[in-house]
Amino acid sequence: MQVSTLRNVLDANDLIAKENRKEFDTHGCFVVNLMSAPGSGKTSILERTLGSLNGRLKAAVIEGDVQSTLDADRLIPLGVPVVQINTDPHFGGECHLDARMVRNALPGLDMDGIDLVLIENVGNLVCPAEFRVGEDRKVMVLSVAEGDDKPLKYPLMFRVSDLLLLNKVDLLGYSNFDPARFRANVARVNPTLPVIELSAKTGHGFQGWIQWLMREVAVASRGRGPCGEI
């Protein structure tokens, strides 16, 4: 794709993302775009997050996958509304969510009474970073199993994110992942990116992540006013 064509695609995407954002704001929904490589544990994090919230926030999930409803099926027992987006069948196997896909999913989501919409993006460390979908915050997940060099190899994802969840810290003793080297690599591409170390398997670190979510939602809703106005 030529640079100018790509620019136009991203500009068109941003317009739809702004419309999505307006719609989310109207309903008082705070929206997190959760991004990572495949297998880093986004769905496991969502499962434990929804359990840990324990009704303190009313959450809903938009689940993006190239194919299958495997991840969505794991979340339905948790009793939250889940809307599935499959990016594959008609759009040539898209490897990311874009604003149009999210817009098309919105009629399937009753946003009244929902405080928090968690969007699980397609597993990919590259292009999800380029496409806004109407989110308030971008949160990326990296797992210890992926290695501490990833900030240097996929800098854009680290640069655009508002928070990094370092998952699978229970594996630290079994890998060459060096937390100090990792933090130094993160600082080289995004010095202000906060990092929360956690384990979706053991629950370690979830208190900090849940506190972050609650705080962000509270600040956003104060800015919106009592009736959802901006």
Within 8 A by CB and 6+ apart from 223, the residues are 230
Nearest distance, CB of residue 154 and Mg ion, angstroms = 18
* Nearest-approach distance from CB 23 to Zn ion, in angstroms: 23
Q: Among Mg ion, Zn ion, none, what binds residue 150 when CB lies within 5 to 8 Å by partner kind?
A: none
**Alpha helix locations (H) across 60-125?**
70-75, 99-105
Question: Does residue 9 touch Zn ion according to CB under 5 A?
Answer: no
Nearest approach in angstroms of CB 74 to Mg ion is: 8
Shortest reach from residue 148's CB to Zn ion, in Å: 25
Structure tokens at 43: 């769905």
**CA torsion angle 159 160 163 164 (round to 10):** -50
| Interface characters, 121-160, with Zn ion (x: CB under 5 A) | ------x---------------------------------
CB nearer to Zn ion: pick between 95 and 187 = 95
Q: Which of 122, 50, 129, 128 is nearest to 82 (CA)?
A: 50
* Residue 127 contact among Zn ion, Mg ion, none, beta carbon within 5 to 8 Å by kind: Zn ion
Partner that binds at residue 96, options Zn ion, Mg ion, none, CB closer than 5 to 8 Å by kind? Zn ion
> With respect to Mg ion, which residue has the nearer C-beta, 71 or 115?
71
Q: How far is the CB of 219 from Zn ion (least distance, A)?
A: 31
d(CA 185, CA 139): 18
Residues 78-97 that bind Zn ion (CB under 5 A): 95-96
Task: Choose among Mg ion, Zn ion, none what residue 160 binds, the Cβ cut-off being 5 to 8 Å by kind.
Answer: none
Distance CA 51, CA 113 (A): 18
Site for Mg ion, rule CB under 5 A: 42-43, 71
Q: What is the distance between the alpha carbons of residues 110 and 88, in angstroms, rounded to a whole number?
A: 24
The partner in contact with residue 42, picked from Mg ion, Zn ion, none with C-beta cut-offs of 5 to 8 angstroms by kind, is Mg ion
Place of tokens 């986004």: 42
Cα gap 224→201, rounded to integer Å: 35
| Residue 163: closest CA among 57, 46, 60, 34 | 34
- Minimum Å distance from CB 71 to Zn ion? 18
Nearer to Zn ion, 1 or 180 (CB): 1
- What is d(CA 178, CA 151) in angstroms, rounded to the nearest whole number? 13
Using CB under 5 A, list all residues that contact Zn ion: 95-96, 127
